Amino acid sequence: ALMCGVQASSGVLCAETEYHLTEISTLFLFCRYNIKALIGRGSFSRVVRVEHRATKQPFAIKIIETKAKEGREVCESELNVLRRVSHRNIIQLMEVFESHERVYMVMELATGGELFDRIIAKGSFTERDATRVLQMVLDSIKYLHSLGITHRDLKPENLLYYHPGVDSKILVTDFGLASSGNKAGDWLMRTTCGTPEYIAPEILLRKPYTNAVDAWALGVITYIMLSGSMPFEEENRTRLYRMILKGRYSFAGEPWPNVSNLAKDFITRLLTIDPNDRMTASQALKHPWIVTMAASSSMKNLHRSISQNLMRRASSRCHSSKSGHSSGSNKSRLEQAVVRFLCRQLPTEKKECPVGGQDG
């Protein structure tokens, strides 16, 4: 406890002194915050829920292991972005503590759950609900792009509700793959990265690419939001990439007959093979479907079709996993959301949920 009062003296620091100061920095962290629970885990990181000892305010701390080169790169990417941004729909970095092998990023805590947890748990979901979400996400992506930042890993799992209330804002999170360049929106990137089902064609072609890859991912997200199914889905990675490169998807099956042409046009303009013809985030915000908040669309409840498609997908993945085609550990958080929903439908005395909270 006495270490909480230690102050660093000024002057040139030798390596040993620097080492001790990083350890003292870590002690300051634990003096300031009380760790409550582990809420997430990634390849090089863990996320814990903490409480500020003085104010009792809850926060999240992302602990990134920086011993490995990959961990250091993820940490640098995330910090480079979060230290520059300030937007109501982007997760906010509060402070950073460092030790020799770890970086502790204190961030605001999103308690409202992932996007699809909320959609599945709701009894109703319409096109208007989708446009509300998209307005917030598009505004944050437009802001990032204006700073020369490309997210490069947009997907439903990285869109969190700030609180459980119906009026909660959406927060864009997880900037581990983000590229932070100059202020020109056409800054070129070359690293092949992203989540397979959301990767834009130009990345697969190993061409230099722009922030238009985020717009492609938003097209995939919108398709899933309105239907509960993926536009590009295939267990075999090679066949999946071939589908993406050809832009081969369809609006067949439920609930697409009940989805407006404007909504389909919005998706089509984002899932455009040529990045030069693809809508930007700024243009997407001006699309009539978004501007009118689907005013001319049917207010038909799409929830049943969305849930059924998500459950069908989870069931299919479960069967292929049992057949040895895929690993259970690869189960997406989209599928985990479905399992949690199914668990909530069971009678109280029979509830036994095989999937925990966030494990990404």
Give 125's DSSP letter.
-
Angle between helices 212-227 and 261-270 (to 10 degrees): 150
**What distance lies between CA 337 and its chain's CA centroid?**
14
Say which of 117, 129, 153, 214 is annotated catalytic. Answer: 153
Position 41, amino acid: R
Residue keyed to tokens 């992932």: 114
162's tokens: 């700030």
Contact 219, 271 (CB under 8 A): yes
> H or E stretch including 98?
strand 93-98
N-term to C-term CA, the chain:
33
Q: Is 62 annotated as a binding residue?
A: yes
Q: Is 274 a known active-site residue?
A: no
Task: In whole angstroms, give the CA distance from residue 237 to residue 287.
Answer: 33
* Cβ 273 vs Cβ 255: under 8 Å: no
Mention every residue, 6+ apart, whose C-beta is less than 8 A from residue 309.
Answer: 227, 228, 229, 254
Helix or strand or coil: residue 162? coil
For residue 178, give the nearest of 252, 73, 94, 100 by alpha carbon: 73
Decide: 191 and 203 in contact? Cβ < 8 Å: no
Binding residues: 62
* Residues known to be catalytic: 153
User: Per the annotation, where are the binding residues for ATP?
Assistant: 62
